[in-house]
Amino acid sequence: MKKTRPGWTSIVFLALMMAATQSAASAQISVLGSLASDRDVAPGEVYSGQITVRNDSPEPAQAKIYQTDYMFYHDGSNYFEEPGTSPRSNAGWVQFNPAVLTLAPGESGVVNYVVTVPTTVVDTVPIGSYWSMLMIEGISKDSPESTLGKTDRTQFGIRQVTRYAVQVASHIRTNAKIDIDIAGVELTKEALGQPILQLNFENSGNVLIVPETWIELYDTAGELARRIRGQQSRVYPGTSVAHRFELADTPEGAYDALVVVDGGNDNLFGAQYRITL
């Protein structure tokens, strides 16, 4: 199991590794376009896609491509497990090529993938969202995996690895269920002492949601004091997220906080809490 902290969001991961290296340089590659590929599909359907990778460096560069599963939770933990580990993994549906890209300076290359949606998953018709990751990772010239610029001289240093994670998600929306479990709220303070209300919730349905969230604060007279919108984020079935609401401009006092999560298609979920600032 591979685990990474903190948050999952926009899915460019930088890892620093102490290793025996020949230099501190790394392949400067980037992925063009969206880091999430969504497709509404039916059982038995086959579809394809492409990921464009560019070498932004003045020297030849290489990138390797491989698969992982992906789960994340509101405590900030992210899990990149072996492909096919998660209950709703579609890694086994995905075929891709090449496994390694070699790019000239400024050149772009393409990773092609084909997704074959099965007619059954564990003897039942697939329903809802299934997803996995295609990882695009730069290969340093001093890595044993590189076929570029090897020398016989080795020294110790820091190797920086750039890794992009592209979500490949297949959605079977017939009979899909949207459900949200609001786990609760936490009233905390950030480093400068400003109050933060954190809303934790889980996608307990079977399909991806990108919900809108907001809180409404009512004073002791029952009057609406503030309405604050939260950010939107992708929440897969069985995963959970934390949305934070800044309360810095809210007068001190007691409030009834109504938290709302809009899962789309008239699927509203809410809970009420008493907080004191």
* 161 and 42 within one domain: yes
- H and E: helices and strands count for the chain: 0, 20
Q: What pTM, to 2 d.p., does this model score?
A: 0.86
The domain that holds 265 is classified in CATH as: 2.60.40.10
Could you report how far apart the first and last alpha carbons of the chain are, in Å? 41
Dist. CA 129–CA 184, nearest whole Å: 25
* 51 and 91 within one domain: yes
- pLDDT tens profile 54-63: 999 999 999 9
Q: Which of 147, 172, 197 is the last residue of a domain?
A: 172
- pLDDT tens profile 109-167: 999 999 999 999 988 999 999 999 999 999 988 888 888 875 454 545 566 778 999 99
Percent of the chain with pLDDT over 70: 86
Q: Which of 155, 172, 189 is the last residue of a domain?
A: 172
Dist. CA 97–CA 8, nearest whole Å: 26
Dist. CA 195–CA 229, nearest whole Å: 16
* 196 and 146 within one domain: no
Question: And the tokens for 65?
Answer: 């491509």
* 234 and 187 within one domain: yes
* 36 and 129 within one domain: yes
Q: Helix or strand or coil: residue 137?
A: strand
Range of the domain at 13: 2-172
Dist. CA 139–CA 68, nearest whole Å: 18
* 140 and 14 within one domain: yes
Burial of 148 (0-12, 13-18, 19+ CB in 10 A): middle
Number of domains into which the chain is organized: 2
